[in-house]
Structure 1
Amino acid sequence: MTPSLLSRRPLSTASRLAAAVTVALAGIAGIAAAPLAQGAPSTRSAPASAVAWSGCYRWLGDNVPPGEPPIIYECATVPVPLDHDDPRGASVLISVVRIPASDRAHRIGSLFLNPGGPGGSGVDFALFAGPYLYTPELRARFDIVGFDPRGIARSTQLRCTGSPRQQGPWFVPLVWPESAAETDAWALSDAALQEDCDQRGGRILDHMSTADVARDLDLLRAAVGDEQLTYAGYSYGSYLGVTYANLFPSRVRALVVDGVLDPVAWSTGDPGQQVEPFSTRLRSDVGSRDTLAEFFRLCDEAGDGCPFAAPGGSSARYDALEARLRAHPVDLDGFAYDHRFLVGDTLGFLYSSPEWWTLADLLATLDELSAGGSASQRAAFEEKRRSVGSGHSGFPRYPGYEGFAAVACADSDNPTSVAAWSAAAADRALVSRFGPLWTWVSSVCNDWPGSQQDRFVGPWTARTANPVLVASTRFDPATPLHGAQRVAGLLPGSRLLTVEGWGHTTLFLSAAADAAVAAYLLDGTLPAVGARFSQDLDPLAPPAAADARGAGAAASASTLRATHLMSLRGAPYGR
């Protein structure tokens, strides 16, 4: 799925009128979300929406899910306090978009979404993934609402430079540093970003914590007329959801967290962990290592069906390729593609197991190229990387990286010297080849200029008005299963759902799991204790076979890769 499926062409007068009438009638009828009471919806109505929605996009072509009406999106901006301690002071604008519920007579309320990051666009996620979320009944009965958090994308942005060209000093052509000279260059890039944000970031720099966003989300909930919140947060969006649940436990109607960050590790760490960067504490390197081991196992089992299979095993072949690239990087368009770019590209693919055949094909091509391949093989490898959006994907910084840094550094305790990142990276490299990558992504937090005054650091054990649903795959490379298990143990009454599969978040991997999540969002029905669902798709199915699963699922998986991994391609916490 690509943005070409959407049109921002002005709506016709009739379309604008229809959209306005729909909103007006919804307000007059008092249609709004109802709190769950023992699994059943209440009949009590909440106030009408105070958001001034207007038609903004339309879905193009024949890509509307079968049997559903054409989609006209509605957009708005909602002012919220810059500083929630000063609600009558300066404000910032939050950009929101919704797909109106198609069954207005049976509408429950609004389902708010966050796709991760921090720094991911909830507006983009709603635009492209919203039409396929979970089940037709859920889409019929909820307005699907995406929002860009404060400081991010279309909302009032944190801007630390006047133009993208001025961001040059933030970037180094490395996935992570290894030599002393590379570490110095990396530290200088951190210092450049810190200085730019300190000088130009403005007041919003001090109000970028996840707790600030959770307070915004509660105001958005009230603005759309919902008495309690219905929410689905993926990856970093799980941290936002858990934060909301603990700040506003009485206002939780139904809350799904999928691909779950350990909130203690993200914020403060357990006793003794404070010497580690927050990105190291999460142990994503272990999740990545274990998920890659599964790729090797499945590749070996597939034999000739896996392009990277080898007589000695795909793991040994990968080890040899990594060693060869360490010693002799491949020249691609003037930059040295070394073992670090291999690890960065591999991690990107581990997020989306339906693309593992493509990963195997890419690795096989690179293996041949690194062993003395021809110019045609080099061109083939470059073209394959471009076709899957890799580009120079290993670079750990990207335009908009300051949004990730501002949120993550505001939330978390970290060491104050770059030497601590070097030490942690060296230590984790003994555990996983992904250890240095996951460690160095947070090094800018060593001296971040923004304030932490508004952050929330627990306790994480509030009893919510209704149970929280926690979801994870068995093998998640970014947010390992133990994060979901910890949250399920912290939040009283919560329930853990596991997809016995591979990749980052469960969404679109199992129709049965998606249906279970939809049932919970619709009426509070929890899956059975210990619920486990199988992944529907063979990770190593060739593209032609994978496409047979249907346009909707294929487009949804593509959307998730584009939306979830947008941040990953720069900072691995594209969660």
Structure 2
Amino acid sequence: MKRQHGIGRSSVLAAVLGLGLGGSLLAPPAVADGPRAPQVRWGACPEDVVAEAAPTTLQCGTVPVPVDYADPGGAEIDLMISRLARTDPDKRRGILMLNPGGPGGSGLALSAQLVSLGLPSSVTDRYDVIGMDTRGIGHSAPVSCGFTDDSPYIANVPPYAVDDAAVTAQAKVAEQVAEQCARNDHDGRLRQMTTANTARDLDRIRAALGEEKTSYLGYSYGTALGAAYASMFPGRSDRIVLDSNIGDTHLDRDGMRRYALGVEQTFPAFAKWASARHDDYGLGRTPAEVRETYFALAERLDKAPTEGFDGGLFRQLTFAFLFNEAQYPKLAEQWRALNSGDDAALRRLRSENATASGAPSPADNPLSVFASVTCNDVEWPEDVDTYRRGVAEDRERYPLFGAAAANITPCAFWTKAERPVAINDAGPRNVLIVQNLRDPVTPHEGGKLLRQKFKDRSRLLSVDASGHGAYVISGNPCALNTTTRFLVEGKMPAKDTLCSAS
């Protein structure tokens, strides 16, 4: 889950950060036991966190963790965490850890953001809410592949491949990215960027806070991290909420290809909205006409880019702005400018996010984290022809975005890492899976897959809503009340439940 800001190259980077090869090494121990972490010393947060959290005041501190859990006495890094302290000590249950997704998203101010969106006071009465920058992110020993603003690698979702030649061209970019990240991994920390290690970090944070168990709320990729923690440390997991689910403890090629399914299922909501406002934007009087406009604009920009917009960027931006219905007006304005040939409007929109050519990319850190974690977590196909076939298949199955989500990524050329975490269905019944029916990046199928894997440990709460993020974010009262009741009272739905549209 990431906020979107404006329209342009940086918007793509920010918006789609929302989301390894064979021969895995032996995995380090699953447990995070070791020398007890020192108690956290709370103090003021960094200025950027203070500004992002305002008007809510948070406290920040650090927790040391091993770079490599197979070498617990070796090098350490400090992870920065934040605390929104409970408001009613008499009602305190424990801690609620948060993760906003990515991998690559900063979560230090997430508690404050959720409060501003309507996180109920009954939750903040019961928990110290713990945000964090997980390993390699932001204020927690950030990693870097050295991406610059003029790099051809501008998003963690590959560009739309119009033909086989485009897959070949993207393969060269993907290979260069893998090589660049390897060259920049001077101290070996990129190799230790895995979901399993991050789950081990969560357990070190739990111990440093003096808690026997932790509750958890994770969005998007945060569901993979939460699923990994609940699987690796079932006895230390309390109440686990996984919202907008990838479908496992890692993102693999099948998971990324499901982005295209999500776009197909979510796009009709935007098309209906835009057709009702045809007089404002001129994109079509019916949802079918809006869909036709999408294909017409994409194909025109494939042949003749304008003001830096080509068909690939147009498709990426459309995908990104489907994350939240509140972004529909910005998306429609971009379409209007492209459709009408309003170059002045396009230049204005792009200049809002312009950075100097060759300068370090503002998305270097999140892009580096996404590539490292995704590629380290699980084996991806190495054969370029496999991606060519997938692109051809998904271009037909999911014409809106299939030839992007199936395209080749740096993971095809990545150095091997540890095995992915297996779902553990033998723990307590404490996993609530929350999922919108229409989500462009984590479609409902992801929630169903995770429900099947956790079996009776879990229940699935489906929400008749569009967008990425259900609890607090969607505004659906049923999703809000059902999830809050689980966090506050521990009341899991007796069976899988559907929340009607609000």
For this structure pair, what is the TM-score category when the shorter chain's length is used for normalisation? 0.7 to 0.9
Match of 2:29 in 1: none
- For these two proteins, the number of residue pairs brought into alignment is 454
1:346 offset after TM fit, Å? 0.8
Counterpart-to-counterpart distance in 1, 2:354 and 2:469: 20
Deviation at 1:72, TM superposition (A): 2.5
Match of 2:124 among 139, 151, 170: 139
Q: Residues 361, 191 of structure 1: CA spacing in aligned structure 2 closer, same or farther, 3 A cutoff? A: closer
Partner of 1:483: 446
Whether the 8 Å contact between 1:484 and 1:496 is mirrored in structure 2 is yes
Task: Go from structure 1 to structure 2 and tell me whether the alpha carbon gap of 1:306 and 1:494 turns closer, same or farther (over 3 Å shift).
Answer: farther
Please say if 1:416 is aligned against 2:382.
yes
Residue deviations 1:172-231, cap 9 Å, x none?
A: 799345467655553343333322332331222221110111111111112112211200
Q: Say whether residues 1:308 and 2:283 are aligned partners.
A: yes
Distance 2:354 2:223 in 1: 26
- Between 303-312 and 496-505, the greater mean CA deviation after superposition: 303-312
User: Per the alignment, in what secondary structure is the counterpart of residue 130 of structure 2?
Assistant: strand
1:239 to 210, 219, 224: 224
Aligned to 1:195: 179
The one of the two structures with greater contact order (alpha-carbon pairs below 8 A, sep at least 6) is: 2
TM-score (normalised: structure 1): 0.71
Distance 1:208 1:514 in 2: 33
Q: Match for residue 240 of structure 2? A: 255
Aligned to 1:570: none
| Alignment CA distance shift 1:380-1:83 (3 Å) | same
Q: Could you tell me how far 1:236 is from its partner in structure 2?
A: 0.6
Q: In 2, are the aligned partners of 1:78 and 1:94 still within 8 Å (CA)? A: yes
List runs of 5+ in structure 2 lacking aligned partners.
4-35
> Residues 298-377 of structure 1 correspond to what in structure 2 (within 5 A)?
298-300=273-275, 308-310=283-285, 313-329=289-305, 331-332=306-307, 335=308, 337-369=309-341, 377=342
2-side partners of 1:138 and 1:238: how far apart? 19
CA distance in 2, matches of 1:143, 1:307: 49
Name the TM-score, length of structure 2 as normaliser.
0.81
**1:519-558 to 2 correspondences below 5 Å:** 519-527=485-493, 529-536=495-502
Deviation at 1:115, TM superposition (A): 0.7
Separation in 2 of the partners of 1:363 and 1:244? 42
Counting only pairs closer than 5 Å after superposition, residues 86-485 of structure 1 correspond to structure 2 as: 86-132=71-117, 134-161=119-146, 165=148, 171=153, 175-178=159-162, 183=167, 185-201=169-185, 202-263=187-248, 266-267=251-252, 277-280=253-256, 282-300=257-275, 308-310=283-285, 313-329=289-305, 331-332=306-307, 335=308, 337-369=309-341, 377-384=342-349, 398-400=363-365, 401-432=367-398, 433-440=400-407, 443-449=409-415, 451-453=416-418, 455-458=419-422, 460-485=423-448
| Runs of 5+ unmatched residues, structure 1 | 3-46, 65-69, 268-276, 370-376, 537-575
CA contact (8 A) 2:278 2:284 kept: yes
Q: Distance in 2 between matches of 1:481 and 1:350?
A: 15
CA–CA distance in structure 1, aligned partners of residues 336 and 122 of structure 2: 43
2:196, 2:421 within 8 Å by CA — same for their partners in 1?
no
Mapped contact 2:168–2:384 kept (Cα < 8 A): no
Paired residues of 2:433 and 2:461 also in contact (CA < 8 A): yes
Q: 1:361 to 1:199 in 2, by over 3 A?
A: closer
Distance 1:464 1:293, change over 3 A: same
Q: Is the 8 A contact 1:172 1:186 kept in 2?
A: no
1:250-303: CA deviation from partner (whole Å, max 9, x where unpaired): 222100000001218835xxxxxxxxx3454x4220111121133224444666
Provide the rounded CA distance (Å) in 2 between the counterparts of 1:288 and 1:465.
34
CA contact (8 A) 2:437 2:464 kept: yes
Structure-2 change in CA distance of 1:534 and 1:263 (3 Å): same
Aligned partner of 1:134: which letter? L
Query: What letter corresponds to residue 420 of structure 2 in structure 1?
Result: F
- Which whole-Å CA distance do the structure 2 matches of 1:198 and 1:321 have between them? 38
2:30 is matched with: none
CA distance, structure 2, for counterparts of residue 231 and residue 49 of structure 1: 22
Question: Which residue is 2:62 aligned to?
Answer: 77
- Residues 508-538 of structure 1 show CA distances to partners (whole Å, capped at 9, x for unaligned) of 21233123212211121124534333454xx
Residue aligned with 2:189, SS? helix
Change (3 A) 1:184 1:324: closer
**Residue type matched to 2:100 in 1?**
P
1:152 Cα shift? 1.8
Secondary structure, counterpart of 1:463 in structure 2: coil
Letter paired with 2:409:
S
For each residue in 1:102-128, what CA deviation from the matched residue of structure 2 results, as whole angstroms up to 9, or x when unmatched?
223322222111111111111143353
